[in-house]
Structure 1
Amino acid sequence: MPEPSTENGESPQPTTASGTAEKKLPAFLNQSRSDIQAKFIDLEWQQRTRIAEGKQPNSTSQWVFLPSDTTLPRNRYANVEVFANNRVKLKVPEGHSDYINASPIKLKTTKSNTQKNFIATQGPKEGIHGHIWRMVWQECPGPAVIVMLTQTHEAGREKCFQYFPLNMENPTMDITEDDEFNDDFKASLTLKGITEDEATQSTIREMELKTESGESKTIWHLLFTGWPDFSIPEDDSRDALVRLIQLSAEKNANADSPRIVHCSAGVGRSGTFIALDWLISELEEGGFDDLDDENDPIVDLVDALRQQRMMMVQSEAQFHFLYDLTRQLWNDRQEGRKLGELKIQNQRDAIDLSRAELEKEMQINVAQSVFRKQTDL
């Protein structure tokens, strides 16, 4: 039997239970893996060009880096640097370096124009781990949210120093004990509670950052355990990651307070997390519903991230993961719409049935009343 068609000969778009047209999968989520791979290669070449430009002697490029003698001792990895024009500057006494390997990241959603604020940073190093807490104190109005996407050690190598209290047996840490600045910022960190959350596959710590002067801030520290370095979350860890992104946004009660996101280098897993946060918001706002076929917001997104911090979404596998998970979430959203509309339709049917039964009961009552009156006569 031939498919029904419209007057212009085209097959009609499928409809949902309520009769509204189903949203077609956007073209950027329907690409072949080879097409996506080619786009990643283009982004890599674009990044290499920027880095080479920024490394030129006496460069005035927007991609210029700070002198290595300033940054190298504080960098976890020699090849992961921050752009001089887009970095967090520590507030320190004159004569001391204000450098920390951390980059402010700002993204806006296309529908509501909501700005999302993050700081992407490396896993703290031993001896200078107090720097991240100095940054949290000055950059986050509070409560502060830190998302940690690496274990302290992976495959026998240190990926991040243990910069926070591990358990309730030793709940307090003096974070300025080894501080080289010797200024008025003296603070300690106290663990208030710790929870293993199955839904997000994370360890949630509530901490208090308190200065000697008595000022304090609540810190939410979310340690996600389901993401290997250079790789992607698999199976249930994917759903857990989505819930973690949502939880981090919920805990970040002050929209002006940037979420601190770090892995080991602060570019691969961190960049992918930040990208997914934006993609989920864009999906929820309907930002992908009416895209032109030639538009690819993921390419634009990764490029925007890399203009703020080098190597964001570091590996090709992580780049593909953005497409795969966004496609999954798009399909889940469409299925949710169908289920939601089916539920509404079932509720309407139940109301109509109840109304019909009520009308029938009223008719019976009227008939019985008339019969009784006739009998009384």
Structure 2
Amino acid sequence: MATRSTSNHSLPDTPSSLPQFLRQDRSALVNKFHYIENLQRDRLTEQYENPEKESEWTRLTGDHIAYRNRYINVEPFANNRVKLNVREGFNDYINASPIALGPRRYIATQGPKNTSTSQFYRMLAQESTDRTPSVVIMLTQTHEAGREKCFKYFPDSKDTPLELHPDPDLDDGFEGIVELLAAEEDPACRCTTRHLRLRYKTPTQEGQDDERHEKEIYHLLFAGWPDFSVPEGENRKAMLNLIDKSATFNLPHAVATATFPLDTASKPPSENTPSPRIIHCSAGVGRSGTFIALDFLLAHLEQGNLDTVPDDVDPILDTVNAMRKQRMMMVQSEAQFLFLYDVMRLAWLDHHDTSGTVP
């Protein structure tokens, strides 16, 4: 696994070899963050001012939606959400959004609540393929500053599997257990890697035996990233290693040459499309969005696709805007937005330095 440079300080002199989008000063980047914040505000205002008119920014409302959300102000767009496979007339809602960046696929979701753990595993089972394991990246601790950020929805011991009981809200007959097969601490990623197995059954037609299934899951818990903030010091280096590691548990994701602005139109997955990595923090927007953006942009960097970007193109801004068209608030804070440029600047220099050392 390659080790990326992780210096936390700004370079004293911006090398002229950097592409234009990585030579912008802080004030220009702050202005760009305000620009995408205004774009998001306009989208939400459009929906609020025309609640009767369905638009691509329409969000679901009602008590049957609100009680499943962790936060009242973070919701998926109605036309870009994961729908649970339930019987007609039952609530198919889960606070999760499919994210497409070129041919790459992710799912950004909130940290499960104690009442939504079973729904989380239903989503995992239905959205993953049989060819590849599911990969879940958890970017929050269960509690931070004395508040629950995510329910502990995974087993800690091989002797105490997590039981998934039938959900009366869904009435789909889904039930099963989540077993811990192995767990290890990875010092390079500063994460706990759990190898899990989901065993579940779904009902069939009356008189037939229930269908039984198994799903392999790799769960990576990274706890060194404070809410609304960015990883610092060794945690930054570990987070970048985590991006690399999370991809190794799945088939390689296609990158292809990017055309900016990115096309976020829904495309059917190909035969070799791996299971989308499921990324969550607490709300599933700030840390989750930053992780996804870096995974996508660093892959393009490695393939050389950012070497000839025109001066009037900013792939980082475009990537964040493309994600925000699919899920609100992705890369939530100014600090996280600036962090993308800092990491990509150092990664670009590291990638193009033959000695492997950033000046």
Question: What TM-score do you get using the length of structure 2 for normalisation?
Answer: 0.83
Structure with larger Rg: 1
* Residue 210 in structure 1 maps to residue 209 in structure 2: no
Offset at residue 328 of structure 1 (A): 0.9
Q: Which one scores higher on RCO, CA 8 angstroms, separation ≥ 6?
A: 2
The 3 A distance-change label for structure 1 pair 23 and 255 is farther
Instruction: After TM superposition, list the pairs within 5 Å mapping 1:1-377 onto structure 2.
Output: 24-55=17-48, 56-108=50-102, 115-141=103-129, 142-170=132-160, 172-177=161-166, 180-212=169-201, 213-253=211-251, 255-335=273-353, 337-338=354-355
Offset at residue 243 of structure 1 (A): 1.1
Is contact 2:193–2:219 with CA below 8 Å preserved after alignment? yes
Distance 1:316 1:200 in 2: 25
2:107 partner letter: I
Offset at residue 181 of structure 1 (A): 2.5
Distance 1:296 1:50 in 2: 21
The 3 A distance-change label for structure 1 pair 179 and 269 is farther
Offset at residue 169 of structure 1 (A): 4.4
Distance 1:217 1:300 in 2: 35
In the alignment, structure 2 segments of 5+ residues that lack a partner are 1-14, 202-210, 252-271
Is contact 1:104–1:118 with CA below 8 Å preserved after alignment? yes
* 3-state DSSP of counterpart to 1:47: helix
* 3-state DSSP of counterpart to 2:67: helix
1:156 partner letter: G
1:92 partner letter: V
The 3 A distance-change label for structure 1 pair 163 and 179 is farther
Distance 2:64 2:343 in 1: 39
Query: 2:6: which partner in 1?
Result: none
Offset at residue 225 of structure 1 (A): 1.3
* 3-state DSSP of counterpart to 2:56: coil
Deviations 1:114-145 (A, max 9, x none): x1110000001112211110000000114000
* 3-state DSSP of counterpart to 1:124: coil
Is contact 1:168–1:191 with CA below 8 Å preserved after alignment? yes
Q: State, as a whole percentage, how many aligned pairs show the same letter.
A: 51
Distance 1:339 1:242 in 2: 16
Instruction: Tell which deviates more after alignment, 261-270 or 60-69.
Output: 60-69
* 3-state DSSP of counterpart to 1:214: strand
1:61 partner letter: S
* 3-state DSSP of counterpart to 1:188: strand
Deviations 1:180-221 (A, max 9, x none): 323232211101011010011100000000114432010000
Deviations 1:262-292 (A, max 9, x none): 0000000000000000110110111111111
Is contact 2:91–2:170 with CA below 8 Å preserved after alignment? no
Deviations 1:229-260 (A, max 9, x none): 00000011111111111111111237431100
Distance 2:75 2:117 in 1: 18
The 3 A distance-change label for structure 1 pair 339 and 44 is closer
Q: Which has the higher helix share?
A: 1
Distance 1:54 1:135 in 2: 27
Offset at residue 95 of structure 1 (A): 2.0
Deviations 1:318-372 (A, max 9, x none): 000000000111111122x2459xxxxxxxxxxxxxxxxxxxxxxxxxxxxxxxx
Moved over 4 A (4+): none
Is contact 1:167–1:194 with CA below 8 Å preserved after alignment? no
1:91 partner letter: N
Is contact 1:23–1:289 with CA below 8 Å preserved after alignment? no
* 3-state DSSP of counterpart to 1:74: coil
In the alignment, structure 1 segments of 5+ residues that lack a partner are 1-21, 109-114, 341-377
Is contact 2:157–2:180 with CA below 8 Å preserved after alignment? yes
The 3 A distance-change label for structure 1 pair 38 and 23 is closer
The 3 A distance-change label for structure 1 pair 239 and 270 is same
Calculate the aligned-residue CA RMSD, in Å.
1.7
Report the number of matched residues.
311
Distance 1:294 1:182 in 2: 53
Offset at residue 167 of structure 1 (A): 2.8
Instruction: Tell which deviates more after alignment, 213-222 or 295-304.
Output: 213-222
